[in-house]
Amino acid sequence: MSFIQIITLSVIQGITEFLPISSSGHLAILQVFWQLEEPPIAFDVILHFGTLGAILAVFYQEIKAILKNKNWKIIKLVIIGTIPVSVFGLLFKSTIENQFSSLKFIGFAFLITGLFLLLTKFIKTPNNELSLQAPGEPENMSEISWVDALIIGLAQTVALFPGISRSGMTIAAGLFRKLKPETAYEFSFLLAIAAILGAVILQIPNLTQQEQNNYFIYAFGALVAFLTGIISLKALPRILKQGKLFWFSPYLFILGLIILII
């Protein structure tokens, strides 16, 4: 990959990892457009380090509150929500990976994501104000039940496929369960920490197989993904506050149709 391609992929990863438009789908499209073989696994790991860092930076106070207060309820909910993606990812790893080379599948997946986002327009949420209080505080996360956590976890599992947005599906699932927007937003990204960290740990051995001269450019890519990830994480709450998650659906419908037609 060229320097321009690495930077472009890093920016796309940082923005689309958190906005509800699917980072995996966008990266797969670029891969086909540039006629690249599958990007090095090590590079994928480094980019996820960058986006994981963005989540930890934005949610530092929230995570600190959970650990300091030993809020076992939230920890248990995160574990429940993480179980489905862990099991499904291990059992159907090859099936999922095969879809990354199918633009037809990705096009349909974009349409599915767009449809779920559009449906959020018709949801009456308890409160559209995003206070973003620390999830370690009971009044902010007490409304989540283990059933809510499981359903949101199942939504995250579907997002293992390219073109299905993880943040879009998990936040939408939370809204469908009548959670407050701030609760759905925060729990979605608490789940993301576990999911991304698990994926990174599984791929760490591949980092040792890389040439040393790749590490600097990969690290720069991670920094770009980190910075752009923070921007998109900060932008999403403002969109949710206005109840406008469905704003992204026209983009996904257009992109999905273009892919299917071309």
CB within 8 A of 189, min separation 6: which ones? 18, 55, 58, 59, 167, 233
Q: Is 59 helix (H, G, I), strand (E, B) or coil?
A: coil
Asked if residue 57 belongs to a domain, the reply is no
Asked if residue 46 belongs to a domain, the reply is no
Mean pLDDT of the 172-193 span = 92
In this prediction, residue 90 has a pLDDT band, given cuts at 50, 70 and 90, of confident
* Count of the separate structural domains present in the chain: 1
Residue 152: phi and psi, rounded to 5, are -65, -35
Asked if residue 61 belongs to a domain, the reply is no
* Residue 40: closest CA among 72, 83, 5, 64: 5
Which pLDDT value is given to residue 205?
Answer: 67
More confident residue, 40 or 79: 79
Asked if residue 53 belongs to a domain, the reply is no
pTM, 2 dp = 0.89
Portion of the chain with pLDDT greater than 90, in percent: 51
> How far is Cα 59 from Cα 82, in angstroms, rounded to an integer?
18
Asked if residue 48 belongs to a domain, the reply is no
Task: Name the average pLDDT for the chain.
Answer: 85
- Tell me the pLDDT tens digit for each residue of 136-147: 444 457 789 999
Mean pLDDT of the 122-129 span = 64
- Tell me the pLDDT tens digit for each residue of 18-74: 999 999 899 888 888 887 765 555 677 788 889 999 999 999 988 998 888 888 899
Asked if residue 54 belongs to a domain, the reply is no
> How far is Cα 107 from Cα 257, in angstroms, rounded to an integer?
7
Asked if residue 62 belongs to a domain, the reply is no
Q: 113: domain range?
A: 3-35+68-261
Which pLDDT value is given to residue 46?
Answer: 80
Asked if residue 51 belongs to a domain, the reply is no
Sign of CA dihedral 115, 117, 121, 123: positive
How far are the Cα atoms of 43, 63, 194, 209, 225 from residue 27, in angstroms, in the given order?
12, 29, 22, 23, 13
Which pLDDT value is given to residue 1?
Answer: 73
